[in-house]
Amino acid sequence: MANAGLQALGLALAVLGWLALALATALPQWRVSSYAGDSIITAVAVYQGLWMSCASQSTGQVQCKTYDSVLALSASLQATRALMVVAVVLGLVALGIAIMGMKCTHCGSDDKVQKARIAMTGGLVYVVAGLAGLVACSWYGHQIVTDFYNPLVPMNAKYEFGSGIFVGWAGSALTLLGGGLLSCSCPGKSGPRAQYPKSKAASSNREYV
C-alpha cells in the first residue's frame, strides 16, 4: 500500500495541474497572430481564446470581445471548450474524493484498505481529467498547425501557439502524473494477520509433542 508521502505528492501535483487547467481555460491567449510573412507590418496583435478574442495595440491598449454566438464557432473550438470544462469539473470532483482517501485525513472510512481504494478512485478521476485536457489542447494545437501550413489561408490570418495552450499542456501533464501517483494506492492484502493463527496453532502442536 502506498505511503502517506507518495499520496501527498500525488495530490499536490494533481491539484497544481488542475489549477493550471482552470487557468488555461480562462486565458484568452490560446493562439496569437503570426508575423511569419516579411511584408506584414501591423501595430495590432490579435490573440484568441476559448471565450473571447482580444486586440492589443502598440500603445498598450487592449480590447477584448466575447464570442457573440456559440453555434457560429468552429467544431474544434466547441469541442475544446467542452473538454476543458469537463477536465476542470472532474478535477474538482477528484479533489473531494482524494481528500477522503488520504491517510493523513480522518474523514471517510477508518478502514485503511477502504481509504486506499477511495484515494485510488480519486487518482483515476484525475487521470481522466488530465486526458480530457490533453486531448483538448492537442486538438486545438493541431488546428493551429493545420491552418498555418494551409496555403489557402491568407498570411495575415495565420496564428501561432499562445501561452494558454502551453499552460494547458503543462496542467494536463501534472494532472496525469499526480493522478497516477494517487492510483498507486491500490490496496493490498495484509498477509501477516492472516498467517498469525496458523503459526500460533503450529506452536501449540509442538508443545504437545
* First-residue to last-residue Cα distance in the chain: 40
Report the pLDDT value the prediction gives residue 106, as an integer from 0 to 100. 66
| CA–CA gap between residue 149 and residue 161 (Å, rounded) | 13
Q: Are 48 and 80 in contact (CB under 8 A)?
A: no
Tell me how far apart the alpha carbons of residues 32 and 65 are, in angstroms, rounded to a whole number. 15
Q: Report the alpha-carbon distance of residue 181 to residue 109 in Å, rounded.
A: 21
Q: What predicted TM-score, i.e. pTM, was given to this entire model?
A: 0.79
* Contact yes or no for 9/181 (Cβ under 8 A): yes
Written as nine digits, the cell of 77 is 473550438
pLDDT in the model for residue 64: 86
CB 126 within 8 A of CB 31: no
Domains of the chain from N-terminus onward: 4-29+71-188 (1.20.140.150)
Task: Enumerate the β-bridge partners of residue 160.
Answer: 32
Q: Centre a 10 Å sphere on the Cβ of residue 139 and count the other Cβ atoms it contains.
A: 15
* Backbone φ, ψ for residue 108 (5° rounding): 85, -155
Instruction: Note down pLDDT in tens along the chain; length 209 residues.
Output: 447 778 888 899 999 999 999 999 999 999 988 876 554 556 678 888 899 988 887 777 888 888 888 888 888 889 999 999 999 999 999 999 888 877 766 665 567 778 788 888 899 999 999 999 999 999 999 999 988 888 887 777 788 899 999 999 999 999 999 999 988 866 555 444 444 444 444 444 455 44
Q: How far apart are CA 10 and CA 99, in angstroms?
A: 11
DSSP tag of 117: H
Rg, the chain, Cα only: 25
Helix residue ranges, H only, the chain: 4-26, 75-101, 112-148, 163-183, 191-208
